[in-house]
Amino acid sequence: MTTTMPDLDDPAFLVGDRAEAYRALRDEAPVLRIGASEDEVWLVSRHEDVQAVVRTTSARVQPPGQDAPGWMPEGPARRRLRANLVQTDRPIHTRLRGVVGALFTARQSDLLRAAAAAEVAAELDALSAGGVVDAVELAARVPRGVLRLLIGMPDEDWAPLLATQLEFLAIFSHFPLAPEQQARLDEVTQSYFDYFDDLLGRLTEPPELVRRLLAAEEAGELSHDEVLSVMHTVLDAGFETTRTSITNVVELFATVPGLLGGVASDPTLVVGMVEETLRLRAPVQVVTRILTEDHAASDGTVLPAGARVLALVGAANLDERVFADPTAPDLRRENAARHLSFGGGLHHCLGAPLARVQLQETVAAVARRYERVELAGFPARHPSLIFPSLHTLPVRFVPVS
């Protein structure tokens, strides 16, 4: 049988509709080994396998005995990675999560709902009736209200700070960076260290999250690098995936007939719209784990201890073995929340409840205010295996008459 194997470097795959390539992998090669020797990786694409890999508590993010990829040189990016919740293993990950975890429960996140709703309302109020707007730029501003309360970042710092955010995402690369890419990543990372160090000096009344971090540093529980890194992680995760998912909501409203009207006629479907958007358009398409034990996959393949596994979250979310008619949004889908867009296990996304709050408030506000969302140009995505976010989405919001 010939496998329709996507070229992971092909821009047409990276920016296009991946559904058919993902289906072929699930059906024909649900566990696929690619590369050779030290570059070897295993792709898993079925929901059952991706879920098992991300939930396996024995798997690691970094190679055994290491706190960063062997190819990454000493420098700001490696310092930042060593203190990053997303890219650290136990016991460091447990310690970092323990300091701030209580602030990101569903209950605590719901307390920020009013701030999220106010920011969405302010952004929609500012839109000119019938004018063309880039939904990406709109979505990029929505998280400000919540992040203002969490880390105290003033609005005037927002735009210049996010100008380099996409470049920073290279820190999540599964493969070695070219020397010039690594140099730029180090430069960008150092600028974030410098910014958050400066911000701490300017905060006369730090928010609770920042107070917790500073108290933990004073108690010797966190290093200064870790304080700065957690602040940046809150910005990074709170902005990037939320912006991406809000943009994806707008894209679906603009391209799927009846979707916006369905939510408008039945506000109880707001939650379903959010979960289906996360399922259909996972903001993070791939996560990596390194196995420390042999692992049997659903097709009987045994992945050996030491295997580096690329878990294709985007493919798992479209698995017809779990989701009926998986490529079509179904706002009443009973198991929509079984998507894996927030990961799982030890590294389940800490900010998932807060992301849901912001997305729900955005969906609800758009459904109340607008009769239609119309494409006003061609959407374009970043050619990224992991973060294929839209970088432009021209639309018109047509108000309810």
Tell me the per-residue pLDDT of 116-137, one tens digit each, with 9 for 90 and over.
Answer: 999 999 999 999 777 899 999 9
User: How many other β-carbons are positioned within 10 Å of the β-carbon of residue 297?
Assistant: 18
Q: 139 CB contacts (<8 Å, ≥6 apart)? A: 242, 243, 244, 246, 247, 250, 362
Q: Is residue 328 part of a domain?
A: yes
Q: Rounded distance, CA 208 to CA 200, Å?
A: 13
Q: Is residue 1 part of a domain?
A: no
Q: Is residue 313 part of a domain?
A: yes
Q: Is residue 284 part of a domain?
A: yes
| Domain span holding position 269 | 11-399
Q: Is residue 267 part of a domain?
A: yes
Q: What's residue 1's pLDDT? A: 40
Q: What's residue 4's pLDDT? A: 59
Q: 97 CB contacts (<8 Å, ≥6 apart)? A: 85, 350
Number of H helices, E strands in the chain: 18, 11
Q: Is residue 2 part of a domain?
A: no
- Looking at the 3D structure of the chain, how many domains does it have? 1
Lookup: tokens for 343: 């990961």
Q: Is residue 3 part of a domain?
A: no
Q: Rounded distance, CA 278 to CA 248, Å?
A: 9
pLDDT per position as a tens digit, 4-29? 567 888 999 999 999 999 999 999 99
Q: Is residue 71 part of a domain?
A: yes
Lookup: tokens for 154: 């003033």
Q: Which CATH number covers residue 124?
A: 1.10.630.10
Residues of the chain with confidence (pLDDT) below 70: 1-5
- Cβ-in-10-Å burial (0-12, 13-18, 19+) of 83 comes to buried
